[in-house]
Structure 1
Amino acid sequence: MAGLSSTLYRKIMGMKFWSFMGLLAAVVWLLYWFNRTVLSTPHGFEVAQELEQLKEAEILEIYHSYLDNIEQPCERMLQAGPVGDEGWQICDDEEFRPVKPCLAYSFGSHWGKSFEFDQDLARLYNCEVFSFDPTMKQDKEVKAKSVQYFDYALGNSLGKSSRVMTLAEIRHALGHDERMIDVLKMDLNGREWKVIRYMIQHGELSQVRQLFVEYNTDINPSTGELLRRLYTLKAIEDAGFKRFNIRKNQECSLFMDRVPEELLKNIDTGCYEVHYVNTYLTQ
C-alpha cells in the first residue's frame, strides 16, 4: 500500500500544471457527484429510495392520506364564497388573517359558477382582489369595485405565451413586487402540479400568507408522477406552509382503473381543496 501511495505521489508531482489542475477538477466533480447521488437523502422533487420500493397502490394510499389530513389547526375560520364548490375557508386567527393593505390573487376564477369568493374577500377584509382566468369574460353581473379581472393564465415558464405569465411576472406587471399577498387561490384544473413545482423552485411563494389549492387527482398518474407529487407536497411544507383545512370536492369524478378495489373504496374524491397558512409569515 505504501509503495502504491509513493508511486501515485511521484506521478502527480511529475505532472504538468494544467494536467494536474484538470485531474483536481475531475476529483472535485466526482466527490460532488458522489455526495449528491449516493450520500445525500433525496429531497425536493427527487425520488426517495424508500418510496421507490413501495408498490403503486401503497404510494397512492400515502398520497391520498397526506392530502386528507391537516397539520395546523385554525381556531377561527370565515367562509368566503358559497359553501361547497367555489367556496374557501379563510384562517382568521390573528397571526394569519389578512390585514390592510390586503392583497389577494385568485387564479381560475371563471371555472365555476360564481365570483362570490373574490367578492367576499373584498368585503370581509377590504382586500384588493385580482382575479385571473384565460376563459374570463367581463360579466355584467360582476360589479365588485375592489375586484379586477384579467383573462391571463398562471404558468410555470417564461415568455411562451403573452396570455400565460408566471406569478413573478404578474406581480411585476401590477407593481406588487414588494407587497405581501395575503391570500392566493389556485384552481387550475390539473395544471397546479407543474405550476407549484415551478413556484417553489423559484421562491415565488415566499411572500404568500395563505395559499389555497385545488389538487386534481382524478387522472391516474404513473408511479413516477405520484412520487413527484408527493415531493411537491413535501416541498410546500418545507417552505413553511401547513394545512389547516381540507375539503373533498365531491363534484370531481375519480378515474383510477388500475387501483386495487380494496384501496379504491377508501378514496372517494378526485379533488382536494387544501388550505394552507405560511408559518414563516406570522403577524
Structure 2
Amino acid sequence: MRILNSRILIVLTLTTLAILLVVSTWLNETVVIQYSEKECDCGNKNGPSATHGVPVLRNPNQTMLTEQTLQSSNLSTKKTWSEIAEEYHTYVNTVQVKCNNIVRMGKADDGGWDICDDEQYRPKQPCLIYSFGINNDWSFDDAVSKKYGCHVHAFDPSMKQDDHNRSDLIHFHKLGLAEREYTNPQGWRLNTLAGIRKQLGHSQTEIQIIKMDTDKAELTSLPEMVTSGALKDVSQFVFEIHIRVSQSFETEADLAKYEMGLRLLKQVYDEGFRIFKSHQNPWSKYPSRFGPVRYGCHELHMVRVK
C-alpha cells in the first residue's frame, strides 16, 4: 500500500509539473501580431522597408562599444512581450553620441529642456526654433530665445490664447501638430510639420531646434514628419515619448505599443538623429509586470549627425 501511494504521489507530482510547464510556455509565447493602421495608430502603415542594425554608444567617451538591433520594422514578430519591452527600455535609456556642453533651457524640472551647446550644434543667428506644447509654461522659449537670439515659434492649440507675439522673438500660434491637417472635436486646429512650415513660409528655412512635448501626439505625428522630409534640415530634436501614460488601469504598455515605439525610434534614427541625453520623467514611474521599476515617459534629446 505504501508503495502504491508513493507511486500515485509521484504521478500526481509529475502531472502537476507538466501542467505548470505548459501554462508557463503559453504565457511567455508571443502570438504573431499583424498590424493594421488602426491597431498601430502610427500614421504609416508600411513602416521602414528593412531591418537595420542601430549602433548604440553605451559609453559616450568611446567610439563604438556595442550594437543594438531594432527589429520592429517587421510587421510581425515572434519575440515575447517581455523581450520587446526590454529592447525598448534599453534603447531609450542609452546615449548614442557625446555632447560636451549640455545646457538647460528653462526650468530645472518639468518645462525645461536640454540643448547641446557644442560648436557644431549651437544655433547661430539668424536662427529658427519650433516649440510644440507650451501649456502656459514659457520658460524654455524665453530662455532659448534670450541665449541664442533665435526666432521661436511656439504652438499649442489647447491654450486659451489667440495668435500673438509674446516678444520680438517669440511668436505664438494656436495650432497643433498632427499626422494630417484637420480640426478635432475640441475645435483645435492641427496640421503636419510640413504643412505648418509651408504656412509660415519656412519650407526652405533651416530649423536649429524642434522641441515637442505633445502628450502622445508624437506617436501619430512623428512618422509623417519623417516620411514627408520635414525633419531633413533640423539640427536638434528634443521630444518626450509616451509609451505608458495611464496611472490608474494600464499596468504595462502592451506589445503593440512597444512595437510601435521601437518603429518610431528607428525612423528617427534612420533620419540621422542620435541621443545625447535621455531623461526619465519621474511622474511616469511604475512597477513593471516584468520585474524592474520602469518609466513610461522619456525625454529624448537628439542631434543630427548625418
Distance in 2 of aligned mates of 1:150 and 1:45: 35
SS of match in other structure, 1:157: coil
Question: Is 2:286 aligned against 1:244?
Answer: no
Q: Which residue of 2 aligns with 1:225?
A: 257
User: Quick one: which amino acid aligns to residue 191 of structure 2?
Assistant: M
* Structure 1 residue 237, shift from structure 2 partner: 0.7
Q: Which residue of 1 aligns with 2:155?
A: 132
Q: Which residue of 1 aligns with 2:168?
A: 145
Matches within 5 A, 1:51-66: 52-66=77-91
* Structure 1 residue 48, shift from structure 2 partner: 6.5
Between 213-222 and 56-65, the greater mean CA deviation after superposition: 213-222
Question: Is 2:194 aligned against 1:168?
Answer: yes
Are the equivalent residues in 2 in contact too, given 1:47–1:228 (CA < 8 A)? Answer: no
Query: Which ranges of 4 or more aligned residues in structure 1 deviate by more than 6 Å?
Result: none
Distance in 1 of aligned mates of 2:116 and 2:212: 16
Question: Is 2:79 aligned against 1:47?
Answer: no
* Identity %, equivalent residues: 32
Distance in 2 of aligned mates of 1:224 and 1:90: 31
Q: Which residue of 2 aligns with 1:123?
A: 146
SS of match in other structure, 2:211: strand
Q: Which residue of 2 aligns with 1:24?
A: none
Distance in 2 of aligned mates of 1:253 and 1:71: 23
TM-superposition CA deviations, 1:74-97 (whole Å, max 9, x none): 001111001121111110111111
Matches within 5 A, 1:38-117: 41-42=50-51, 46-47=73-74, 52-110=77-135, 114-117=137-140
SS of match in other structure, 2:301: strand
SS of match in other structure, 2:104: strand
User: Quick one: which amino acid aligns to residue 155 of structure 1?
Assistant: A
Are the equivalent residues in 1 in contact too, given 2:72–2:263 (CA < 8 A)? Answer: yes
User: Quick one: which amino acid aligns to residue 153 of structure 2?
Assistant: F
Looking at secondary structure, tell me which structure has more helix per residue: 1
Give the structure, 1 or 2, with the largest relative contact order (CA under 8 Å, sep 6 or more): 1
* Structure 1 residue 42, shift from structure 2 partner: 4.1
* Structure 1 residue 255, shift from structure 2 partner: 7.8
Question: Is 2:248 aligned against 1:216?
Answer: no
Question: Is 2:177 aligned against 1:154?
Answer: yes
Please, what is the CA RMSD of the aligned residues? 2.4
SS of match in other structure, 1:200: helix
Distance in 1 of aligned mates of 2:81 and 2:72: 18
SS of match in other structure, 2:88: helix
TM-score normalised to structure 1 length: 0.75
Are the equivalent residues in 2 in contact too, given 1:218–1:254 (CA < 8 A)? Answer: no
Are the equivalent residues in 1 in contact too, given 2:241–2:300 (CA < 8 A)? Answer: yes
User: Quick one: which amino acid aligns to residue 47 of structure 1?
Assistant: N
Change (3 A) 1:198 1:255: farther
Are the equivalent residues in 2 in contact too, given 1:76–1:93 (CA < 8 A)? Answer: yes
SS of match in other structure, 1:277: strand
* Structure 1 residue 53, shift from structure 2 partner: 2.3
TM-superposition CA deviations, 1:6-51 (whole Å, max 9, x none): xxxxxxxxxxxxxxxxxxxxxxxxxxxxxxx9xx8446973266xx
User: Quick one: which amino acid aligns to residue 81 of structure 2?
Assistant: E
TM-superposition CA deviations, 1:79-123 (whole Å, max 9, x none): 10011211111101111111111100000111xx62110011110
Question: Is 2:223 aligned against 1:197?
Answer: yes
Distance in 1 of aligned mates of 2:177 and 2:217: 9
Please, which runs of 5 or more residues in structure 1 have no aligned partner?
Answer: 1-36
Looking at secondary structure, tell me which structure has more strand per residue: 2
Q: Which residue of 2 aligns with 1:33?
A: none
Are the equivalent residues in 2 in contact too, given 1:136–1:150 (CA < 8 A)? Answer: no
